[in-house]
Structure 1
């Protein structure tokens, strides 16, 4: 299976990682795969960072600071978190290629526009070649593909977005990009030495929740 980049347009960290993944894709043929992050969270019985008071504010500052420090133009959409299903389905309707991924992320995270409805995504109609966005995102086949993508990600062990799946290994988050690059250059790196030992560490204590 080729390398896969699992993402959701709700994630600003996916937007921050996008240029680096695009560069890696030129060499390693990485395929973008839109998934519904909310379903992943539900499967693992977790809250998203934007659903935890205090963590939400810190995360937003961290995102903006990272963008500023990296020279990335970023502007938050009008509300966050938002329902990304329309944007995800539009991307799939447009073929799930890098052009659709780039355009949709830019709409939401570069230009700071809403992406939670067919109406809010209307500006993407011409760039993506979708004449009727509302009809496209209501397609049964598009809905099924998003569901299948998400189920595939969960079955692969994905617990967050963005995640790079390289063979059987998962690399979660923008911060893990250099680690993923290291693995691509040397697939044996994390199966040796201390890396092998820490993966086999016993669990010392479990919290009762």
Structure 2
């Protein structure tokens, strides 16, 4: 199995999903992307931008973390600007070690992740100069990651995308879709049954204007 995993450090659901994704067999490539740019491309607001939904989302992710036995502590403010964390990740090679370190700093320990100054201890632990995150090549790579995600049909984070085989190009969105992804990986015919096929082509009955 090989797969790409699209994520943003802004998302606590990405942090929860990472705990599962990093243990998958085969090659999983973490792909940091700018969630805000994906939302803009899709004409959507993020859950933290909608009053009521914001509070519910925070409580829901805390509940999920406790159910899964994962330590989760919110950073000082949310939403926050994740560009510094995303660029530092790219500068560090987007390795599993870099993804782990940044998620742990922001979502396990509850530190700010909105500036290179705030992330200086993580950069030092990774052996990456914080200034490297400001390189034009790093910024260009993050833009390219995000554009590729949008082109692949990604509309939210986290998203797991399989490469090759019967699930090639299939997208599984969300921490709570992980079991669905594993079931489809184990039995691709799951997605080929008549009702699965019917809903994939279901006509739109009405559209909001």
TM-score class, shorter-chain normalisation, is over 0.9
Match of 2:156 in 1: 160
After TM superposition, the runs of 4+ consecutive aligned structure 1 residues lying more than 4 A away are: none
1:124-182 per-residue CA deviation (whole Å, 9 max, x = no partner) reads: 1232111x30x111101000000000000000000000000112111000010001111
Aligned partner of 2:28 among 27, 30, 33: 30
Mapped to 2, the partners of 1:82 and 1:161 lie a distance apart of: 15
TM-score (norm 1): 0.95
Do the aligned partners of 2:88 and 2:123 also contact (CA within 8 Å) in 1? no
SS at match of 1:188: helix
Mapped to 2, the partners of 1:193 and 1:31 lie a distance apart of: 32
Match of 2:133 in 1: 137
TM-score (norm 2): 0.95
Match of 2:21 in 1: 21
Unaligned runs of 5+ in 1: none
SS at match of 2:22: helix
Unaligned runs of 5+ in 2: 163-167
Mapped to 2, the partners of 1:120 and 1:176 lie a distance apart of: 32
Mapped to 2, the partners of 1:69 and 1:192 lie a distance apart of: 31
1:47-83 per-residue CA deviation (whole Å, 9 max, x = no partner) reads: 1000000000000000111111221111000000000
What value does the CA root-mean-square deviation take over the aligned residues? 1.2
1:81-102 per-residue CA deviation (whole Å, 9 max, x = no partner) reads: 0000000000000000110000
Aligned partner of 2:107 among 105, 109, 119: 109
Match of 1:49 in 2: 47
Mapped to 1, the partners of 2:106 and 2:28 lie a distance apart of: 23
Aligned partner of 1:99 among 93, 97, 100: 97
Aligned: 1:4 with 2:30: no
SS at match of 1:23: coil
Q: Name the count of aligned residue pairs.
A: 204
SS at match of 1:164: strand
